Amino acid sequence: MERIQVEKKVLSENDRIAARLRDSFRDHKILCVNLISSPGSGKTSLLERTLERFPKGTRVAVLTGDIQTDNDARRLARFGFPAKQITTGGTCHLDALRVERALEEWPLESLDYLIIENVGNLVCPSSYDLGEDAKIVMLSVAEGEDKPLKYPSIFAKSELLILNKIDLLPYVSFDMAKAREYARQVHPGMKIVEVSCTTGQGLDEWIGWLEKRRQATDNTDLRGSNKK
């Protein structure tokens, strides 16, 4: 009982800070997305391909979370956009307080997009609201197509599923049709995009989704739909 009460208190405080972040993003008309996957699914590679396709002058910044090292932030900073590492020191997820502290030195009025790359994990990040407009879950074809059934919480809470590394389909036993079926069993309205960071297939659709979602930031009925 004591542990449950502590967890509820932690999540309650996190939600309070997340609400403050969400209000700030709304005020500045920033689209904030929270990218979540298991380790090795290709989140950082996707962000590299995304940043290199954004026109110079695009008002985008990236926060990337890892247990140790700042390797991902250094990889992403090469593209000339602000990128900052949040090192958790062992915690398997980002929380709203870490995000708020990481943003203290960034002028939000200079941003249209804030992309958060969460720590590689499909369980813990699903419980922590970061003030984002949308959670995005990534699944690579090198994993099992039944992950939506094994980790339903994050798939249920995510607005978009990115099926990554599709260039490997000839070499793995991943069943794309079943992956789509399982994802929509958990979340019937989920948008699904198939992507290869190696060949570039699907990247235009992914970036188009970001741009369209950004256009909705003035519509308060659409914002905050992924607070849960």
Domain limits, the chain? 2-218
The pLDDT value recorded for residue 4 is 59
Q: What is the pLDDT of residue 41?
A: 97
The torsion angles phi and psi of 218, rounded to 5 degrees, stand at -85, -10
The answer to whether 133 touches 213, Cβ cutoff 8 Å, is: yes
Among the four given CATH numbers 3.30.1490.100, 3.30.540.10, 3.40.50.300, 3.40.190.10, the one describing domain 2-218: 3.40.50.300
What pLDDT sits at residue 21? Answer: 98
Residue 100: closest CA among 24, 31, 44: 24
Predicted pLDDT at 69: 85
Q: In the Cβ-directed half-sphere of 198, how many Cα atoms lie within 13 Å?
A: 8
Per-residue pLDDT of the chain (228 residues; tens, 9 = 90+): 555 555 566 689 999 999 999 999 999 999 999 999 999 999 999 999 999 999 888 999 999 999 888 889 999 999 999 999 999 988 899 999 999 999 998 999 999 999 999 999 999 999 999 999 999 999 999 999 999 999 999 999 999 999 999 999 999 999 999 999 999 999 999 999 999 999 999 999 999 999 999 998 766 544 444 444
pLDDT at 6: 53
Torsion, Cα of 207, 108, 154, 3 (10° steps) = 170
Which pLDDT belongs to residue 223?
Answer: 42
Quote the tokens at residue 153.
């919480």
* Residue 132, pLDDT score: 98
Q: What per-residue confidence (pLDDT) applies to 34?
A: 98
How many C-beta atoms lie closer than 10 Å to residue 211's C-beta?
A: 13
